[in-house]
Structure 1
Amino acid sequence: MNPQTDKDNLTVFDRLWDILEELRQKVGDRFDLHPNPATQPLQTFSSPDGKVQGSLATFSGAEIDWLVHSRLNNPTLNFSTMRLTVWLGSQIQVPHLAFEFGTVPNLFFYMDYIPRVDLWSDLNYLEHYYEPLQSTYLTLRGNSDLSLFVSKSLYVRQIQSPTHLCYTCSPTEESLALIQRLAHEMLERWFKWVDDAEPVPETMQPILAQRDLCMRRISAERDPGNQMAAQLFGAELTNTLVRGLWGGDRFVQ
């Protein structure tokens, strides 16, 4: 492996992590969040050979049911992944927010508003929350510098919204600037939705909360990357990481 490639990958990883940190900071400034002690041991972890380093932190609060801020980095293989997912509480029905960046070794990005209703039948929800991203979605589909990334996982494709942004591209300054701009635009739009949202009737909140938890658990357990994680970290740590993604140990004393 060319040492210069490793150095370049580390730089791209750091740049992506800086963007994700900007987003996390904005979310932290907007919401009252508290770290969850169940994932405290996962704030730093590594593979047995020490080549893959990672961290996973989770938070919750009055408005946020579960926030995940995590990363993995293997500079030797030019592979990294990081995510910020924000799962709202059931008091409103605004879509959840998802960001995932990485190097595979080309630059990878996924940004999405995760639906909380059946978009096939709830046209008001579809048009209110997804029409604003339609022009961006179509513009990126026509961008020859971006390669559409299609997951091999049936469930992952099912959970993505009709306007999800998921691409690979060369790790250029232009690509990094595009990711930064798009991510901040999506976050600011989402903040406004949260501010303007109508409350969900109390009688419906348990149903919405159950649906959210089900989606979060299945998406974590069906993540195609779990198989690679098990090879890198072993089954025990991988299972703990997966439970951290959906909050499986949050109430365990």
Structure 2
Amino acid sequence: MTQEPTDLDNKAVFEQLWSLTNELRQKIDARFELHPNPSTKNLQSYSATTGGAHGSLNTFSGSEIDWLVHSWLREPKSGFCNMHLTIWLKSQLRVPHLAFAFATVPYLFFYMDYIPRSDLSVDLEYLDRYYEPMNKTYLGLLEDSRFKQYISKTLYIRQAQSHTSLCYTSPVTEETLAHLRTVAHEMMDRWLKWVDEAESVPDDERVALANRDLIVRRAIAERDPDNQIAVRLFGSELTDELVRSLWGGNR
């Protein structure tokens, strides 16, 4: 799709999705104190050497958030766009991380998830506390004919998703975009409440949790099969820098 020009202009949809990430980001900024990370300053605006693909990647950290990524990229001639808002907490809290990804391919794609930080097969208290509240939403989308569940062909990507992750495609309509906005805000509001109510992780468990978080964050970034799209648009050198920035490899 990204290799051949089309007459599809998704600029208006891009602006709506980017507006949604900014609405969610505003809730983050109202709750947390964040500081830009200088390691990604050169990626605040980047573009392909040929073609019209361009984007922006910004990262932040704070006392409670280890790594926040807020980014977008567009390839106007094909109607492709992709954007992320991912929040990785520090190890004094065991609340799941929070991930949003929205795209047009050229139909609507979205991924929203509470990324687990515990083994849900045995940590039943963690499962009940953080994933049972999402089960109704997950089942509701599964039964909604407007949305088609997207299942990755990549084993690790499926492994990294929770069993209530929302990963779907749909036609781009006012109804589907409105539903996406509603669910995204519900997920953000629920997560912020969890953070406010979270108990502190014991000091002797924090290093192990931080190490686990980094392994997961790096593997998700490096094993994302859609990195090949970035290589096609921006070349391998810039793509490698973008991928490292997603997990904080240049900090």
Please classify the TM superposition score into its range, dividing by the shorter chain length.
over 0.9
Structure 1 window deviating more from structure 2 (70-79 vs 107-116): it is: 70-79
Contact 2:99/2:113 (8 A) holds in 1: yes
- Is 1:177 aligned to 2:191, yes or no? no
Question: 1:130-209 counterparts in 2 under 5 A?
Answer: 130-209=131-210
Confirm whether residue 26 of structure 1 aligns to residue 27 of structure 2. Answer: yes
Deviations 1:126-158 (A, max 9, x none): 011000011111111000011111111111100
Match of 2:211 in 1: 210
TM-score (norm 2): 0.96
For residues 61-118 of structure 1, what are the alpha-carbon distances to aligned partners after superposition, in whole Å with 9 as ceiling and x for unaligned? 0000000001111121111110100000000100000000010110111110000001
Q: For residue 151 of structure 2, what is the amino acid of its counterpart?
A: V
Match of residue 49 from structure 1:
50
Per-residue deviation at 1:227? 1.6
1:1-253 equivalent positions in 2, closer than 5 A:
3=7, 5-6=8-9, 9-250=10-251
CA distance in 2, matches of 1:246, 1:2: 33
In structure 1, C-alpha distance between the alignment counterparts of 2:233 and 2:106, rounded to whole Å? 17
How far is 1:2 from its partner?
6.1
Gaps of 5+ in 1: none
Measured in 2, the distance between the counterparts of 1:152 and 1:48 equals 30
Distance 1:16 1:228 in 2: 20
Q: Deviations over 1:3-59 (max 9, x none)?
A: 4x31xx111111000001111111111100000000000001111124111110000
TM (normalized to structure 1)? 0.96
Measured in 2, the distance between the counterparts of 1:205 and 1:172 equals 44
What is the CA–CA distance in structure 2 between the aligned matches of 1:21 and 1:93, rounded to whole Å? Answer: 25
State the alpha-carbon separation in 1 of the partners of residues 43 and 155 from structure 2.
29
Q: CA 1:135–1:223 in 2, change beyond 3 Å: closer, same or farther?
A: same
CA distance in 2, matches of 1:206, 1:32: 22
Helix, strand or coil at the partner of 1:111: strand
Consecutive unaligned residues in structure 2, runs of 5 or more: none
Give the 3-state SS of the residue equivalent to 1:198 in structure 2. coil
Distance 1:41 1:151 in 2: 31
Change (3 A) 1:233 1:2: closer
User: Higher mean Cα deviation, 59-68 or 217-226?
Assistant: 217-226
Q: Is the 8 A contact 2:148 2:169 kept in 1?
A: yes
Any runs of at least 4 consecutive aligned residues in structure 1 with deviations exceeding 2 A, and if so which? none
1:228 Cα deviation from its structure 2 partner: 1.8
Q: Please state how far the C-alpha of 1:194 moved relative to its aligned partner.
A: 0.2
Post-superposition CA distance 1:199-252 (Å, at most 9, x none) = 0000100000000001001111101111221121111111110110000011xx
Distance in 2 (CA, whole Å) between partners of 1:73 and 1:239 is 18
Whole-angstrom CA distance in 2 between matches of 1:41 and 1:29: 26
